[in-house]
Structure 1
Amino acid sequence: MRYPSTHQTIYPQLLGGIFVLFFIWMAIAPVSRDVWLAEAIPVMLVFAALTAGFRSFRFSSTAYTLMAVWLFWHTVGGHYTFAHVPFGWVTDHFGFQRNNFDRIGHFSVGFYAYAMAEWLLRKRYCGPVLATIFSILLIMSVAAGYEIVEWWYAVADGGDAGIEFLGSQGDIWDAQKDMLADTLGAITAMLLFWIVRPHLHRQA
């Protein structure tokens, strides 16, 4: 039986502890409490799932780092609402028409493809090629599902909180661009996975 190394144990616990403190800080006086609650739910669910599964399956430090990017990024977006995160310097520098903080958030969702592929490979459910394909398709499915949830919430709320949660900022193609960002993030994560995969495979 293989036991996780000290680094594999301490690093994710330290990262998780830092995130909990950060999450509490960002929960104080958000711009919109309703939007914060709606945005915090998926963050809490993902963090709870990672915490619950920590004893049964230990991801690599790379996987935990990539997954943490979205947790931190989305938490900031929930505090300010994504359309109003202080990100103007990036918008001005690149001449964007909108605040693209949410686009980067969607791109970071794709990073979870790395963890998914790692899990499939180390569990020996399939080979690396199928693990890559399944992981990208999973992110695409999650991206589509989340856009449907955003639409439902916006319609059900019918007010400013719903519009802020939707975060389209007047872009009629916002949902499609968000899903593309998720997919590109997944492809990027899988390119990284293929670079480090031999090392991970030897650890499996």
Structure 2
Amino acid sequence: MENRNLVNVTLAAIVIAALIVSGIAPFDRATWVMEVAPVLIALPLMIATRQSYPLTMLLTVLIAIHALVLIGGGAYTYARVPLGFWLQDLLGTVRNPYDKIGHLLQGFVPAMVAREILIRGGYVVGRRMTGFVCICIAMAISASYELIEWAAALAMGQGADEFLGTQGDQWDTQSDMFMALIGSSTAMALLSGWHDRQLKRLISK
């Protein structure tokens, strides 16, 4: 339990520090607010429910990683994140691919969140059906986010370019959702067994 608390405190401190630093002088303040909004919602919620509804360590780490990716995108905007430029040079892509990492995690992490909630609540029976429902939930979240981007584009016009991060790609929406599908499917395929073992230990306490 002490190790769990130490890891939780450490991860929270890292995310909070990154959030503060990213908010000092982001490239675009409105974009920063929109990109880090999920972190501003999830972090207080996780802290408030850490005793009544503690998460598995696997899920906690995944959420922290996702938060840091979102914070990086908020600080620089997704088209300007230095890590993305490094990947662009490494992979020889025509655009900064950092936003695709974000959308991959947008499928990967919500699918794991859904899996933990569904299994602990006993809402779905069967491993395959659980995996299918988790992928569907992750894709629904991805589609909802694309609708939010569409609404932002309508409301802000050219001012939404930094938030959208399309970089001139007319198929950006479709590729974003495809990355979410890859992420959610990969999470179910690779982490289900590990997640089950952690859930068993958590529930038995």
Using the size of structure 2 for normalisation, the TM-score is 0.90
CA distance in 2, matches of 1:116, 1:24: 28
Residue 93 of structure 1 pairs with residue 125 of structure 2? no
C-alpha distance in 1 between matches for 2:24 and 2:38: 18
Counterpart in 2 of 1:106? Answer: 103
For residues 197 and 169 of structure 2, what CA distance do their matches in structure 1 show?
Answer: 43
Q: Secondary structure at the match of 1:158?
A: helix
Q: Which runs of at least 4 in structure 1 moved beyond 6 Å after TM superposition?
A: none
Task: Give the C-alpha shift of residue 14 in structure 1.
Answer: 2.0
SS in 2 for 1:27: helix
Q: Which residue is 2:153 aligned to?
A: 154
The CA deviation at 1:123 is: 2.6
In the alignment, is the contact (CA less than 8 A) between 2:58 and 2:195 conserved in 1? no
User: Contact conserved, 2:104 with 2:182, CA < 8 A, in 1?
Assistant: yes
- Are 2:50 and 1:59 equivalent residues in the alignment? no
Give the CA RMSD over aligned residues.
1.6
Larger deviation: 128-137 or 23-32? Answer: 128-137
Q: CA deviation at 1:11?
A: 1.6
Comparing 111-120 with 91-100, greater Cα deviation is found at: 111-120
Query: How far, CA to CA, are the matches of 2:48 and 2:196 in structure 1?
Result: 28
Q: 1:192 to 1:115 in 2, by over 3 A?
A: farther
Q: CA deviation at 1:172?
A: 0.7
Aligned partners of 1:123 and 1:10: how far apart in 2?
A: 27
Residue 40 and residue 200 in structure 1: after superposition, are their counterparts in 2 closer, same or farther (change >3 A)? closer
Matched, 1:17 2:13: yes
- Residue 139 of structure 2 corresponds to which residue in structure 1? 140
Tell me by how many angstroms 1:55 deviates.
2.2
User: How many residues are matched?
Assistant: 199
The Cα shift of 1:112 comes to 2.5
Where does the alignment leave 5 or more consecutive residues of structure 2 unmatched?
none
What secondary structure, in the 3-state scheme, does the structure 2 residue paired with 1:26 have? Answer: helix
Q: Give deviations 1:34-68, integer Å, cap 9, x for gaps.
A: 21122122221122332233222111111111111
Q: Gaps spanning 5+ residues in structure 1: where?
A: none
Asked whether the 8 Å contact 1:8–1:58 carries over to 2, the reply is: no
Q: Which has the higher helix share?
A: 2
Aligned to 2:113: 115
Which residue is equivalent to 1:81? 77
| Percent of residue pairs bearing the same amino acid type | 32
> What does residue 196 of structure 1 align with?
194
Separation in structure 1 between the aligned mates of residue 163 and residue 91 of structure 2, nearest angstrom: 25
